Structure 1
């Protein structure tokens, strides 16, 4: 296969299963770890990766409303496809949905299990590179345990040579046209029980290359897996950082102010190049500060006309994507609004909910407070509003190399 410069690459997330072995009232992909559904974490990993063009989830037909809530406000998410009775049928449905929805099919496709929420950005990049070099490639790990084959009675029949054995993970990476053709041929032949997409390519006579997987890229299957994941969701991100942000905007003509993503009625508006949301601006700077990645003005210069009047949720979402792209999580957000008026108390819960929705941070980890300056200074004279924010994030220790 000849390598394509800047290939388009779509990630298919297989999420149509019921996951009954994991226990719980919901399919495992919708169960929460660290306050976030497994599927949302998986979708976010791919949706925020710079080499992924779009993300298509293949879901159960009963899960449309649940999926819409899970994927809300994530970038690059396509309308989901509905899966079939087997994993093979579900992937084929996703491939056909992509072919039908696009006037030009993607160059590459990655197929990933929804229940693998710990895939790293580096592994995704390796998958894209592997798909450019071969029609089919899969992430693998060497087998470290001794493996024996047993007979029907449970008696050891032989000890296998583990040097030639590998365990297989996702995302599996393919040239789109090659994988779609292999799936179509298998379906036409009545072959419906192949357990992964590499097996479909093998059945079609296509060579399958391998690339290095990751030991942390585990698939959540049992109740024990879910319990361990819930406990490890933050523990595996040992680099804890805190950033602060501060913003001020003056009052001007208008009948409302934007505070933390909520339009609050007031006798004046706030003056700014964007919508002048002091709360979201301060939170954005807090996240960027925790990342040591400049400030809001560096990412969204006020001299750039495209940001004139822009909704500030875009700025905060950008900072969230920066955290996610570094393999991190947001642990806590704290916002203090400083003004004599309008009164923030009646809108506090709505502001918390808006910030939670924009960032994907559970509501229990979002704090909003308000205070005055006892009529001192510009806020005391009701000339404007100020905001202070702090953000606590957790990154992998390997992120220290980012410098």
Structure 2
């Protein structure tokens, strides 16, 4: 089976003083989260589309989904304290509700990347059916500098550098096994889900993202996203 998991568990602290987490802020005439979910319901191969959100916002999430989304595959699940806890909560729901087979896969995506394309979702599904883990990336345009204590430690060769996006897609059983092998110290500093598989010695396949597949994290990002939506309306 193929599942989707939209990670909406963040509190959005870098968005500044807002009345709600960033995924619930309006973008055009709909919340950012709804704009993202709408892209996933277009893909008929998903058995279920999980929206994993903070416990305090569970009712709000269900209310806005019932207002805008009519697809019965969309279900709301309580997230965890950290990103990967949220990811694993969603996987626990899948296992409890549907069971797990060796070939089951999940396509995970940031709730605040509403400009994902059908092509990116399709490429992730096709790739994860052949690989253990898949990361969506775009080539780095700027030079990447690695720093330590305010000093430049390394300037890697740019042609080998990529910027990570989402979706990130996984064979569910292999991801569970890899996550279970991590130490508590590793889990605390883990900021990227694909690194779970890398630390377990699994290969991570890359698929091409899009520059437009932006993550809305700061007020500036939200302004850019609003401009994109407004331009599409005008067109």
CA distance in 1, matches of 2:178, 2:132: 11
Equivalent residue, structure 2, for 1:384: none
CA distance in 2, matches of 1:21, 1:77: 31
Counterpart of 2:207 in 1: which secondary structure? strand
After superposition, residues 224-303 of structure 1 pair within 5 angstroms as: 224-236=220-232, 240=235
CA distance in 2, matches of 1:17, 1:88: 11
Equivalent residue, structure 2, for 1:185: 181
CA distance in 2, matches of 1:123, 1:11: 13
Equivalent residue, structure 1, for 2:8: 15
After superposition, residues 85-104 of structure 1 pair within 5 angstroms as: 85-104=81-100
CA distance in 2, matches of 1:75, 1:185: 36
2:77 to 76, 81, 89: 81
Cα distance, 1:236 vs. partner?
A: 4.1
User: Is residue 2:163 matched to residue 1:167?
Assistant: yes
CA distance in 1, matches of 2:56, 2:153: 45
Counterparts in 2 of 1:17 and 1:141: CA distance versus 1, 3 Å: same
User: Is residue 2:70 matched to residue 1:50?
Assistant: no
CA distance in 2, matches of 1:212, 1:76: 30
Equivalent residue, structure 2, for 1:32: 26
Counterpart of 2:75 in 1: which secondary structure? coil
Counterpart of 1:53 in 2: which secondary structure? strand
2:124 to 119, 127, 145: 127
CA distance in 2, matches of 1:124, 1:155: 39
Measured on the aligned residues, the alpha-carbon RMSD in Å equals: 1.8
2:60 to 46, 49, 66: 66
Q: Deviations over 1:157-203 (max 9, x none)?
A: 442211111111111111122112222333xx323231122011111
User: Is residue 2:204 matched to residue 1:208?
Assistant: yes
2:107 to 106, 110, 113: 110
2:115–2:213 contact (8 Å) kept in structure 1: yes
Q: Deviations over 1:265-306 (max 9, x none)?
A: xxxxxxxxxxxxxxxxxxxxxxxxxxxxxxxxxxxxxxxxxx
CA distance in 2, matches of 1:223, 1:68: 25
Cα distance, 1:104 vs. partner?
A: 4.8
2:8–2:51 contact (8 Å) kept in structure 1: yes
CA distance in 2, matches of 1:160, 1:200: 23
2:144–2:161 contact (8 Å) kept in structure 1: no
Counterparts in 2 of 1:10 and 1:183: CA distance versus 1, 3 Å: same
Equivalent residue, structure 2, for 1:292: none
**Structure 1 gap ranges (5+):** 1-7, 241-403
Cα distance, 1:107 vs. partner?
A: 1.8
**Structure 2 gap ranges (5+):** none
Aligned residue pairs total 229
Counterparts in 2 of 1:81 and 1:131: CA distance versus 1, 3 Å: same
Equivalent residue, structure 1, for 2:133: 136
Q: Deviations over 1:247-282 (max 9, x none)?
A: xxxxxxxxxxxxxxxxxxxxxxxxxxxxxxxxxxxx
Q: Deviations over 1:355-401 (max 9, x none)?
A: xxxxxxxxxxxxxxxxxxxxxxxxxxxxxxxxxxxxxxxxxxxxxxx
CA distance in 1, matches of 2:138, 2:147: 23
* TM-score w.r.t. length of structure 1: 0.54
1:21–1:222 contact (8 Å) kept in structure 2: yes
CA distance in 1, matches of 2:26, 2:58: 18
Task: Compare 207-216 and 172-181 and name the one that shifted more.
Answer: 172-181
CA distance in 2, matches of 1:101, 1:59: 18
CA distance in 1, matches of 2:99, 2:154: 53
Cα distance, 1:14 vs. partner?
A: 0.7
Cα distance, 1:17 vs. partner?
A: 1.0
